[in-house]
Amino acid sequence: MKAIIQTGPRSVETQEREVPTPSADELLIKVHTAGLCGSDAHAYKYDGGYEWIPIPRVMGHEYSGTVTEVGANVETFEVGDKVVEEPIHDCGHCFQCQNGQPNVCQNFSITGMHRDGAYTEYVTVTPEHVHAVPEGVPLRHAAITEPTSIATRAVLDQSVTTPGDNVLVEGPGPIGVLVAAVADSLGANVVVSGLGQDAAYRLPLLEDLGIDTVNLEEEGGLDGRVESQTDGIGFDVVFDATGHHSGVVSGNDVVRKGGQIVVVGIPNSASELSLTSTVRGEVDINTSYGSTWTNFEQALRLMERGEIAVEKILDTSYSVDDPAAAFEAFLGSETCKPVFQFDG
């Protein structure tokens, strides 16, 4: 079978591997579509904080597929079922897991990093980490359930967003786009900010989704939008999906008094946020990391209802046989959500 394997920093290649054999407690899944996200790009570059990943490694953690073999001890799934995997596996017994916070498990492991991942034709996985895909959701769409679940957690669980709120999403990467889409589905007035490098692909994508955008380099910042969209009051909720240490600082400048900032992207270094205005304005700063079982189900239901324009978000133009092209295009902001199709 084909597998996309990282062989070094900024080095990936497609190789042939043996089809894995599931144990009595596992499912064998034929991968249909697998997505590329920001953490995959960090791993591809072998950025700081990712050097622990063993190389060579089959990459990928966002995927959809079909069950082709069921272990003797598995009773919850059958051959032919359409499924997605919850790729962050919690241990189930640490304090956080027992306290209902499995997304911040002390002993978590991630598909495609701690173990071989989904950029391949077949994977094995235990059923407790698998979700059934609703009949109305195409497998190609279901491949982005995991990043959509991150967005549902950020918006539905970790934020106070309500219909009619003025919402700013900083950063038009995959998570920013999906956070904006989920907030928009609630009836919030959403604007997404980006930089000049996002003007060619990512900001136009959001405009095509019916979501307002601002090019910070063209407009000289957000002051004009604060005035025009919020009558100078400030945004009710700001989602920082930049993954840059400046995101929470700029968010703090435009959130209203009594408003909320939710940090979704993991900052690349220490922030220089001054908390004086934050405290005086009683601004709530919250964070959102990963997702839970419920967030996966919410993501699938939103896709089933057609609330997320998945077909517009996916970019299927990249080949399994030239994976580096997808990674380099992603890093250059030439695409937003490239996917590899193994059974398309």
CA distances from 303 to 272, 297, 309, 342 (A): 38, 10, 8, 21
CA distances from 75 to 5, 70, 127, 266, 300 (A): 32, 8, 9, 38, 22
Q: Is 182 helix (H, G, I), strand (E, B) or coil?
A: helix
For residues 58 and 116, the answer to whether their CB atoms sit within 8 Å is yes
pLDDT confidence band for 269 (50 / 70 / 90): confident
Nearest in space to 290 (alpha carbons), one of 52, 43, 101: 101
Residues 257 and 284: their CA atoms lie apart, in Å, by 9
Mean pLDDT, to the nearest integer, of 118-139?
97
Query: Domains of the chain: which residue ranges?
Result: 2-145+291-341, 159-287
Q: Does domain 159-287 have CATH number 3.40.50.970?
A: no
Instruction: Please provide the CATH number assigned to the domain covering 2-145+291-341.
Output: 3.90.180.10
Residue 121 has pLDDT above 80, yes or no: yes
Sign of CA dihedral 311, 307, 204, 330: negative
pLDDT recorded at residue 344: 62
Residues 103 and 265: their CA atoms lie apart, in Å, by 15
When the pLDDT of each residue in the chain is averaged and rounded to a whole number, the result is 95
Cβ partners under 8 Å of residue 131, min gap 6: 83, 84, 85, 86, 145, 293, 296, 297, 300
Mean pLDDT, to the nearest integer, of 103-124?
96
Residue 23: count other Cβ atoms within 10 Å of its Cβ.
Answer: 14
For residues 5 and 13, the answer to whether their CB atoms sit within 8 Å is yes
Residue 327 has pLDDT above 80, yes or no: yes
pLDDT recorded at residue 173: 96
Q: What does the block give as tokens for 325? A: 């092209």
pTM: 0.95
Domains 2-145+291-341 and 159-287 share a fold: no
241-268 pLDDT, tens digit per residue, is: 998 888 899 999 999 999 999 999 988 7
Nearest in space to 333 (alpha carbons), one of 103, 173, 141: 173
For residues 335 and 37, the answer to whether their CB atoms sit within 8 Å is no
pLDDT recorded at residue 205: 97
1-56 pLDDT, tens digit per residue, is: 999 999 999 999 999 999 999 999 999 999 999 999 999 999 999 988 889 999 99
